[in-house]
Structure 1
Amino acid sequence: MSESSNRPPISLSPGQWSFTRWKTIGQLEALEVHHPLFQATIVLQGAHLARFAPQDEADWLWMSPTARYEPGRAIRGGVPVCWPWFGDPGKNPPEVRKRIHTETAHGFARTALWKLEDVRESAHEVEISLSLDANEDFSDVWAGHALALLTFSFSVRGCQLALTTTNLGNDPLAFSQALHTYFPTSDISRTRVLGLGGSHYIDTLDNWEYRTQEGPVYFEGETDRIYESGEPLTIVTPKTSRKLSAVGSDSTVVWNPGPEKAARLSDFPDTAWQSMLCVETANAAGDYRVLNKGQSHTLGVSIGRKA
């Protein structure tokens, strides 16, 4: 694909950027940040955060070694954006489901080409904003008109993502969504998620039955749960401890495919389930949101070190 078809128009000259550069990864255009304090990579297709690492540290995100960067193909790893619906369309609430005209999971934002809106740089931080105008171009899969604006903020302390949805249509808009963050671990059996104790959750692997979490979340094979909680979390692995703070969210998805599903997944090595987990900041299940004409909602997550 040519530069002109991949690279959207921008209002500021790339020559003004000190730390941010264009880069082609596979067949996709990306923005690569090389700051003295940190590094990051954002792919324009899907507004997909593919990498974030403070200087001299390993990547804070997990990316599949077999991920493919191809037009129209979801990227396995990093932070996929699930929007304007999350998960299986048929499992969404009726108000969300009635707008969806496809059986494809997780919406169309993760394979759509987003537009670069702004790059702001300082000695301590880089902020990048991308937008997606979900208009009649997507009418074959979804009935609605909304603007999604995703802003990334990077610093030595960590990274923040803020996804703002604005209803540009005349009728109320119901939608679900998630920032589907993949985290690395050296050993999934010695990894736990703190902060969900006492929360109710839907176990999607057990007929969508409701359960109550007792203590930390541990991983013993395939895990796929939607927690009714937007409280701060800590992911503890044998080598790292990450703190997650959400805004605009009252649901959290915890996922690991386990060995059997891993063998069926695309762009995912059979043994990769042992070295990753997903903790997703969401508006899922009963936490879907409804916007009247002109209203906006921001879903965000801050990923940092545990103090």
Structure 2
Amino acid sequence: MKSAPGSWSFTRWTTVDQLEALKIRHPDFHAQLFLQGAHLTHFAPSNESNWLWLSDTARFHTGSAIRGGIPICWPWFGNPDKNPEAVRRHIRTNTAHGFARTAVWSLEDVRESPDDVEISLSLDANDDFSDLWDGHAKALLTFRFSATTLQLALTTTNLSSTPLALSQALHSYFPTPDITQTAVTGLDGTSYIDALDQWSHKPQQGDVRFTGEVDRIYEAGFRDIGITTTTSAYRLCSNGSQSAVVWNPGPEKAGRLSDFPNHAWQTMLCVETANALDDVRVLNYGQSHTLGVMISRLQEHKDSQ
């Protein structure tokens, strides 16, 4: 049911360093969601570890992206010059991954029930962002937490009189005890763009494995994707997406990243639900598109706590 501040049973306001956040403490699960970036940094069913990887050196500062969790890349993904022309023509900066991940979103709604909590945040990308982007759109991001699943749905509505082309990603970071013993499943037989090899097309054969830096955009269709580590297994079911990103910085790039310990690449990976490259979406005035993912964890050994 819909509720208002003061009547929430499981949701509370909190402040972490410089940033305002919502902390959810339900009997069945816990979560933490920041208004800056609509950035989820923690979700776990009760008595389980965080489903999301968060850097030990993550900063919670105004105007700085948080390293880990699920950053929102919107209304473009990656470097502007790697986007199709229809997306590039709206961009007025060299900044990668758009501006949503450092913008302050507005709380639209909190709905609580005995079984789940649903929180919606919105961002009105209007003239306030005109130095970064030529467009006007509203983003509505809804999180649904339960004892067994984490769901995100990012809906973009074009409020401009001209067509809007956008790329985007739910940039999900996952933990692993050992990246070399980790596999991404479900992509066998697809093709991908290898950003580390002159953006060439390559076929995927078997599971995705990691021996160093990986930066790939998969033409994934509507496939479910799995992540298998030595202690747990995740399943990602996406909608509104025919592309996926698999990323790990490897040892050399890890040393150049901000808020990223040198050895952290060994304990994380990103598998991102996306609209990237040929999967960009074009919206006419008033049209909407929803990019979503449902994440479940299939197992967790007790010794991983």
TM-score, normalised on structure 1? 0.96
Matched, 1:134 2:125: yes
Matched, 1:64 2:55: yes
Q: Which residue of 2 aligns with 1:304?
A: 296
Q: Which residue of 2 aligns with 1:156?
A: 147
1:220 CA displacement? 1.1
Give the CA RMSD over aligned residues: 1.0
Note the residue ranges of structure 2 that are not aligned, 5 or more in a row.
300-305
- The answer to whether the 8 A contact 1:146-1:168 is kept is yes
Quick one: distance in 1 between partners of 2:158 and 2:297? Answer: 34
Q: Which residue of 1 aligns with 2:232?
A: 240
Quick one: distance in 2 between partners of 1:233 and 1:223? Answer: 17
The runs of at least 4 consecutive aligned structure 1 residues that moved more than 2 Å come to none
Give the alignment partner of residue 268 of structure 2, picking from 261, 273, 276: 276
Q: Which residue of 2 aligns with 1:93?
A: 84
Q: Which residue of 2 aligns with 1:166?
A: 157
Q: Which residue of 2 aligns with 1:286?
A: 278
Quick one: distance in 1 between partners of 2:250 and 2:217? Answer: 17
- The answer to whether the 8 A contact 1:119-1:127 is kept is yes
Matches within 5 A, 1:181-260: 181-229=172-220, 230-260=222-252
Give the alignment partner of residue 125 of structure 1, picking from 94, 97, 116: 116
Give the alignment partner of residue 29 of structure 1, picking from 17, 20, 43: 20
Structure 2 letter corresponding to 1:293:
Y
Quick one: distance in 1 between partners of 2:176 and 2:53? Answer: 8
1:12 CA displacement? 5.9
1:305 CA displacement? 2.5
- The answer to whether the 8 A contact 1:77-1:182 is kept is yes
Q: Secondary structure at the match of 1:261?
A: helix
Q: Secondary structure at the match of 2:251?
A: helix
Note the residue ranges of structure 1 that are not aligned, 5 or more in a row.
1-10
Quick one: distance in 2 between partners of 1:13 and 1:123? Answer: 16
Q: How many positions carry a matched residue from both structures?
A: 297
Matched, 1:263 2:255: yes
Quick one: distance in 2 between partners of 1:38 and 1:119? Answer: 16
Q: 1:46-70 CA deviation, whole Å, 9 max, x = no partner?
A: 0001100000000000000100001
Identity of aligned residues (%): 65
Q: Secondary structure at the match of 2:6?
A: helix
Quick one: distance in 2 between partners of 1:279 and 1:88? Answer: 18
Q: Which residue of 1 aligns with 2:170?
A: 179
Give the alignment partner of residue 50 of structure 1, picking from 19, 30, 41: 41
1:14 CA displacement? 1.3
- The answer to whether the 8 A contact 1:147-1:167 is kept is yes
Quick one: distance in 2 between partners of 1:253 and 1:231? Answer: 13
Quick one: distance in 1 between partners of 2:44 and 2:170? Answer: 18
TM-score, normalised on structure 2? 0.96
Quick one: distance in 2 between partners of 1:192 and 1:12? Answer: 41
Quick one: distance in 2 between partners of 1:209 and 1:129? Answer: 38
Structure 1 letter corresponding to 2:130:
S
Q: Secondary structure at the match of 1:286?
A: helix
